[in-house]
Structure 1
Amino acid sequence: MSEVAEAMHGFAEWFGRPPIGTWSAPGRVNLIGEHTDYNDGFVFPFAIDRRTAVALGDRDDRVIRVASSLAAEPVEVHLDELAPDAVSGWSAYPLGVAWALGELGADLEHVRGVDLYLSSNVPVGAGLSSSAAIECAVALALDEHWGLGFDRPTLAKVGQLAENRVVGAPTGIMDQSASLLGEADAAVFLDCRSLDADVIPLGFETDGLSLVVIDVRVEHAHASGGYAARRASCEAGARALGAESLRDVHPDDLARAEELLDDETFRRVRHVVTENQRVLDTVRTLREDGPGAIGPLLDASHVSMRDDFEISVPELDLAVETAQAHGAIGARMTGGGFGGSAIALVIDGLVPVVTHEVLAAFAERGYREPAVFTVRPSQGARRDA
């Protein structure tokens, strides 16, 4: 059963009537550009063929009630009582979106409540942004149902605000932008300062390439200290360098940065500055030489995250090294780090080889068996029914 069908079925089962509409939004893989988004930099994610669907039904009061295939009981809150501290747990994602719509200008005083039912096949904790898939599906659904008229870049801001203020994760806008703006066999080149976005063809399908995801099943939590500490370190580095953000620091400025900053802050800065450049180089290389030429940039990105930003873990390093050793064009960890997934760009015919060797390497080390699967760059958020 598809996620859309499951959402419709679950809605009818929980609420005793059919929904009036169903929307869905994808998770994302960030091809390159990690921890650059909240530094006003560049990112290059794409939407994947794993989605979260939300079925919606109207109510005759002002209560929002949300249920999910992963939750034992629905959660409900009155629209007049929506606030960051009024919701918690999994319901903070969909209910936080409703709150954030009001914060960004929607008049919620005259709308009726809704029932929502969520179903998803985006892996949780894998670094594929299951949270943004929820936020964007719900944002698109509520925007259309309530007739708010927000454009997709604004809905991305809604999702980010929900995640920052209600969930409590200090993330940037990349994940929501990818989920809302993605297209088939293309990635979203996003300037996180201006929010200008270009959809760039990837050419994976044409060139016979697959993107393999290796979910190492080491769970991470963005609201925990590691992510916040990296963000604080970046902000401290920018202040010390007299820059508004690390976006304004050029690779040629790194020699001066090394003199001014302590070693740890310098390495955090160096990762962001060089990663921004790698995003620009990846887009240029795709346009000039095609996807088969971007491997060294992916490899260099992983080294930078491992050594300078220190957000990798042994399982991610093993996944990357094993994929590289068995034919991957390039490989890197993806997502916020401290767990999650690695990605490898692989010739279609070598996918079974890379999969087998990664599973064998993890078994030999005594690590938990990873989930290895391919994803396709896919369409962003949409109404399905």
Structure 2
Amino acid sequence: MSNSSGTGTPALDLDELRSRFTEVFGAVPDGVWQAPGRVNLIGEHTDYNEGFVLPFAIDRTARVAVRFRANSAVRMLSTFGNQGLTTADAHVLDPATARGWTKYPLGVLWALQQRGLDVPGLDLLLDSDVPRGAGLSSSHAIECAAILAVNELAGGGLSAHDMVQATQRAENDFVGAPTGIMDQSASLLGAAGHAVFLDCRDQGVRLVPFDAEASGLVLLVIDTKVSHSHSDGGYAARRASCELGADVLGVQALRDVGLADLEEAAGLLDPETFRRVRHVVTENDRVLQAVELLERTGPEAIGGLLDASHASMRDDFEISCPELDLAVDTARSAGSIGSRMTGGGFGGSAIALAPAGAEQEVRDAVGRAFARAGYTAPDIFRVRPAAGARRLA
């Protein structure tokens, strides 16, 4: 058994995964593909506002062994959870009947069909060590691994840009989550030792050096164990507030509002909508500052931006929670140079950028603080920028 994730979910090695596939489905897979989860270093809720984000692919992945079938039957199984073998018909894909993790690969099949790709039935075995419900994009890792496999096996010829668009459509129209393009872009385009600077308006991508460990730092993920869901009302409500703000301010998207425009915006918007707008505008500016500092100075220069980002999400966008705030505040007081919640909010994970010598103190301090507060013990683990989605075998 290979290394496990921060959640303790086992990850099968390649031979084990192929062997398990053969046991379940009675034939060897056509191939195995993997796609990583992601950490968003900075730039939260800016993606669907056509703004800027700076995620990176992490060394936690979803892997799918896939075999095309001669008929339209779709059979899927995972190595985790209690869900047994799930069956569907590739010609009759219905979001209303999709359950659990299977809605993500089924959504990919549906989105590819909407693009005119003829997708037959298939057998799919999923294994993943991306922590689920932690804000590290475990669902997009599944989608990206699945689309990479199906595109290749079906001869779809889709570019990474095409696959980003198709997985977004799967998320929006099949899964029912109004997400942007950040997560799948990081998973498909990530590179070791780099973050992915993404312009969500034109989908322009630039790789930015981010090698914390070479600078004597570590990036810790603190999984609060507070589960979240992008398809719940909180995420959708924030997106609606942003759209209202853009409409009142007469712009295509909040990307078009600058820091200098906020004073006027305060007089035009109700207080809550203004706070939502202010977060997005200032967060876009923080992303641009972070990119400049990483390219000019290095990871040690961005701590203050991480702290400011969390304060904005806590106070203006109101998507934090007591557990996330405690993780961030404790990590900072224990020696991290910057800390913030990461992901869509309402639970999930925080990140802490800390000197390597302070790593254990940060881990211990956060654990003690959660115990004192009566919270579930968090999972704390180190992540590194890793390569994007690819075929393994």
2:230 counterpart of 1:222: yes
2:84 counterpart of 1:76: no
Where 2:44 maps in the other structure, the secondary structure is coil
Which whole-Å deviations, capped at 9, do the CAs of 1:198-221 have from their partners, x for residues lacking one? 111113132121110000011111
CA contact (8 A) 2:101 2:139 kept: no
Which whole-Å deviations, capped at 9, do the CAs of 1:36-85 have from their partners, x for residues lacking one? 00000000000000000000112121222211123432222222212444
Where 1:214 maps in the other structure, the secondary structure is strand
Q: Deviation at 1:86?
A: 4.9
CA contact (8 A) 1:216 1:340 kept: yes
Q: Deviation at 1:313?
A: 0.4
> Any gaps of 5 or more consecutive residues in structure 1?
none
Choose which of 48, 57, 62 in structure 1 pairs with 2:58.
48
- Alignment root-mean-square deviation, CA: 1.2
Choose which of 240, 248, 251 in structure 2 pairs with 1:243.
251
Greater Cα offset, 152-161 or 323-332: 152-161
Choose which of 375, 378, 382 in structure 2 pairs with 1:374.
382
Write the distance in 1 (CA, Å) between the matches of 2:116 and 2:128.
27
Choose which of 30, 37, 41 in structure 1 pairs with 2:47.
37
Choose which of 107, 126, 133 in structure 1 pairs with 2:141.
133
Where 1:31 maps in the other structure, the secondary structure is strand
* Number of the residue aligned with 1:175: 183
CA contact (8 A) 2:211 2:385 kept: no
Write the distance in 2 (CA, Å) between the matches of 1:321 and 1:270.
22
Which stretches of structure 1, 4 residues or longer, exceed 6 Å deviation after superposition?
Answer: none
> Any gaps of 5 or more consecutive residues in structure 2?
3-10
Residue 75 of structure 1 aligns to which amino acid in structure 2?
T
Write the distance in 1 (CA, Å) between the matches of 2:205 and 2:352.
24
2:279 counterpart of 1:279: no
Identity among equivalent positions (%) equals: 58
Q: Deviation at 1:355?
A: 0.2
Write the distance in 2 (CA, Å) between the matches of 1:42 and 1:284.
13
Write the distance in 2 (CA, Å) between the matches of 1:106 and 1:345.
44
Q: Deviation at 1:289?
A: 1.3
Residue 30 of structure 1 aligns to which amino acid in structure 2?
N
Where 2:238 maps in the other structure, the secondary structure is helix
Q: Deviation at 1:335?
A: 0.3
Residue 21 of structure 2 aligns to which amino acid in structure 1?
F
Write the distance in 2 (CA, Å) between the matches of 1:118 and 1:129.
15
2:329 counterpart of 1:321: yes
Residue 82 of structure 1 aligns to which amino acid in structure 2?
L
CA contact (8 A) 2:248 2:268 kept: yes
Write the distance in 2 (CA, Å) between the matches of 1:79 and 1:221.
26
Kindly report which structure 2 residues correspond to 1:190-201, keeping only aligned pairs within 5 A, or say none. 190-201=198-209
Choose which of 5, 29, 35 in structure 2 pairs with 1:19.
29
* Number of the residue aligned with 1:65: 75
CA contact (8 A) 2:224 2:379 kept: yes
Where 1:332 maps in the other structure, the secondary structure is strand
* Number of the residue aligned with 1:297: 305
CA contact (8 A) 1:185 1:205 kept: no
Write the distance in 2 (CA, Å) between the matches of 1:304 and 1:381.
32
Q: Deviation at 1:371?
A: 0.5
TM-score (norm 2): 0.95
Residue 368 of structure 1 aligns to which amino acid in structure 2?
T
Where 1:47 maps in the other structure, the secondary structure is strand
Q: Deviation at 1:251?
A: 0.7
* Number of the residue aligned with 1:90: 101
Residue 80 of structure 1 aligns to which amino acid in structure 2?
H
Where 2:61 maps in the other structure, the secondary structure is strand
* Number of the residue aligned with 2:7: none
Which whole-Å deviations, capped at 9, do the CAs of 1:292-343 have from their partners, x for residues lacking one? 0000000000000000000000110010011111111100000000000000
Which whole-Å deviations, capped at 9, do the CAs of 1:132-160 have from their partners, x for residues lacking one? 00000000000011110101121111111
Where 1:338 maps in the other structure, the secondary structure is coil
CA contact (8 A) 1:106 1:148 kept: no
Change (3 A) 1:71 1:165: farther
Write the distance in 1 (CA, Å) between the matches of 2:47 and 2:19.
37
* Number of the residue aligned with 1:234: 242
Q: Deviation at 1:366?
A: 1.2
Which whole-Å deviations, capped at 9, do the CAs of 1:262-319 have from their partners, x for residues lacking one? 1000000000000000000000011111110000000000000000000000110010
Residue 189 of structure 2 aligns to which amino acid in structure 1?
L
Which whole-Å deviations, capped at 9, do the CAs of 1:166-210 have from their partners, x for residues lacking one? 111111110000000000010100000100111111131321211
Write the distance in 2 (CA, Å) between the matches of 1:153 and 1:254.
33
Write the distance in 1 (CA, Å) between the matches of 2:269 and 2:104.
37
Q: Deviation at 1:230?
A: 0.3
2:362 counterpart of 1:362: no
Write the distance in 2 (CA, Å) between the matches of 1:8 and 1:16.
11
Greater Cα offset, 66-75 or 353-362: 66-75
CA contact (8 A) 1:88 1:167 kept: no
Choose which of 118, 122, 126 in structure 2 pairs with 1:118.
126
Write the distance in 1 (CA, Å) between the matches of 2:117 and 2:82.
30
Residue 89 of structure 2 aligns to which amino acid in structure 1?
H
CA contact (8 A) 1:60 1:112 kept: yes
